[in-house]
């Protein structure tokens, strides 16, 4: 039973998933800090001052705290945008690697080309 547990815990997919969850949580903290420490002070503070609120989470209407919801929407949009650019960059890098391999394959002369070159050299002598 311990061997099965060990096999289960150290399966490639389980470890990859654990790493992804940990990195995702850390990335979430970065985005939350970015929104609360950069986006809110730079872009949202004028709107918040007009609403007589100091934090976006304090926005409410008849007891409904829609400010937290707006903050979550902003976080989602930023995360989605960042992930979009990360995926696009990864795809572009992968395509560049594939193109280099294809160019190497195309650039290499075939046996027929080499034999024709040899034949042409022999005919010139």
Q: 3-class SS at 76?
A: helix
pLDDT tens-place string over residues 27-50: 888 887 887 788 777 877 787 788
Residue 110 and residue 116: Cα distance in Å, rounded? Answer: 10
pTM confidence score: 0.50
Predicted pLDDT at 106: 66
What are 7's two structure tokens?
A: 């096999």
Residue 5 and residue 83: Cα distance in Å, rounded? Answer: 34
Average pLDDT over residues 2-14: 79
More confident residue, 51 or 23: 23
Buried b / exposed e along 39-75 (16+ C-beta atoms within 10 A): bbeeebeeebeeeebeebbebeeeeeeebeeebeebb
CA 11 to chain centre: 24
**Cβ(31)–Cβ(80) below 8 Å:** no
Predicted pLDDT at 104: 60
pLDDT tens-place string over residues 58-110: 777 888 888 888 888 887 888 888 888 888 988 888 887 776 666 666 667 77
């Amino acid at each position: 039973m311990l061997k099965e547990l060990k096999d289960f815990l150290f399966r490639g997919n389980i470890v990859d998933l654990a790493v992804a969850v940990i990195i995702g949580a850390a990335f979430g903290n970065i985005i939350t800090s970015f929104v609360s420490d950069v986006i809110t002070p730079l872009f949202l503070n004028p709107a918040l001052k007009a609403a007589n609120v100091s934090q976006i989470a304090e926005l409410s209407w008849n007891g409904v705290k829609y400010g937290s919801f707006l903050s979550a929407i902003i976080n989602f949009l930023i995360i989605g945008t960042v992930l979009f650019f990360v995926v696009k960059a990864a795809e572009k890098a992968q395509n560049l690697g594939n193109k280099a391999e294809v160019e190497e394959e195309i650039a290499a002369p075939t046996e027929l080309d080499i034999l024709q070159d040899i034949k042409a050299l022999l005919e010139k002598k």
